[in-house]
Structure 1
Amino acid sequence: MADRLTQLQDAVDQLANQFIASIYYVHKHHNLQILSATDSVRVDKKENEPAPQDPDVDPYPAEQFKAGQRELAQDLILKEQQIEYLISILPGLENSEKDQEQTIKRLEEDLRIAEEQRKQALKEKEAVLARLEGVIRSVKRP
């Protein structure tokens, strides 16, 4: 499992991707509308041809479009809440510098003990290998 900072960075990256996907959804599936009197929709058409459609826009029915927007908004809110949670569990926010130094010293001691155990295990391995090699050499062929 990744550490908390990596999880936080991944969540922020995912949120950015969700923002982009939301903008793309709205751009791709909105219904072309004039919002004010000064707005205009440019239509270049030749005689006897239907009005061209913007190939980038595929309008959805109003209810389907609203439902999609609602789902995207819920996903954004959930991701934001996940990010808030990850931020809240980051270490150090409630610990003083002295507490953090004590934690580091304790972890260094744990690491020193683990290193001694590793060295002891390596010595035991070497001893067992030497004994095994002696046994193998003492075996004679019939």
Structure 2
Amino acid sequence: MGDRLTQLQEAVDQLGDQFISAFYYNEKHHDLEKLGPNDKIQDLKGDQSTIAIRPVPVEPFPADVFSAGQLELARDLIIKEQQIEYLISTLPGLDNSERDQDQLIKDLEEELKVAEAQRLEAIKEKDEVLLKLDQVLRGIRRN
């Protein structure tokens, strides 16, 4: 489960990075077009001391290139979101009730007890075999 959670965290981080990249792309490569009659396009080449935050200089792309870039960024965001949904759906416990999870834990505890008993039996057998081997080796030395 830890591996799934790590994958999920990485995918969410990547989605955040993709959002930032998409915003930056739109901010940097849009065309300098007025959206309303009262809009003004700022001349940022003048006095920069009056601007608290320096905006990213705009390097407009042709409309078809800009739209293609936006489409690609949107597809990447959708694919990443689908990957996140898939990872979430594979996490344990989403389709199980609390009772089912408790039963699963009990079953696993029983399996662990059986495996521990087998391990202890194997250690006992190993010790017996080593003791017999030691006796055989001592018998060979005497002869």
TM-score, structure 1 normalization: 0.70
Q: Which has the higher helix share?
A: 2
CA displacement at 1:39 relative to structure 2: 1.2
What does 1:21-100 correspond to in 2, within 5 Å? 21-43=21-43, 56-100=57-101
Paired residue secondary structure (2:39): coil
CA spacing shift, 1:96–1:45, aligned 2, 3 Å: closer
> Structure 2 CA distance, aligned partners of 1:10 and 1:43?
40
Tell me the C-alpha RMSD between the 2 structures.
3.3
Paired residue secondary structure (1:3): helix
Count of residue correspondences: 133
Paired residue secondary structure (2:32): coil
Consecutive unaligned residues of structure 2, counting only runs of 5 or more, are: 47-54, 136-143
CA spacing shift, 1:24–1:122, aligned 2, 3 Å: farther
> Structure 2 CA distance, aligned partners of 1:8 and 1:45?
44
Identity of aligned residues (%): 60
Consecutive unaligned residues of structure 1, counting only runs of 5 or more, are: 47-53, 135-142
> Structure 2 CA distance, aligned partners of 1:131 and 1:38?
99
CA spacing shift, 1:126–1:66, aligned 2, 3 Å: farther
CA spacing shift, 1:38–1:105, aligned 2, 3 Å: same
> Structure 1 CA distance, aligned partners of 2:33 and 2:25?
16
Task: Supply the AA of the counterpart residue of 1:82.
Answer: Q
Task: Supply the AA of the counterpart residue of 1:72.
Answer: L
Matching of residue 110 in structure 1 with residue 111 in structure 2: yes
CA spacing shift, 1:55–1:87, aligned 2, 3 Å: closer
Residues 109-118 or 10-19, more deviating = 109-118
TM-score, structure 2 normalization: 0.69
Report what 2:15 is aligned to. Answer: 15
CA spacing shift, 1:23–1:67, aligned 2, 3 Å: same
Residues 58-67 or 70-79, more deviating = 58-67
> Structure 2 CA distance, aligned partners of 1:88 and 1:41?
47
CA displacement at 1:5 relative to structure 2: 2.5
> Structure 2 CA distance, aligned partners of 1:120 and 1:23?
63
Report what 2:51 is aligned to. Answer: none
> Structure 1 CA distance, aligned partners of 2:112 and 2:57?
59
The answer to whether the 8 A contact 2:27-2:56 is kept is no
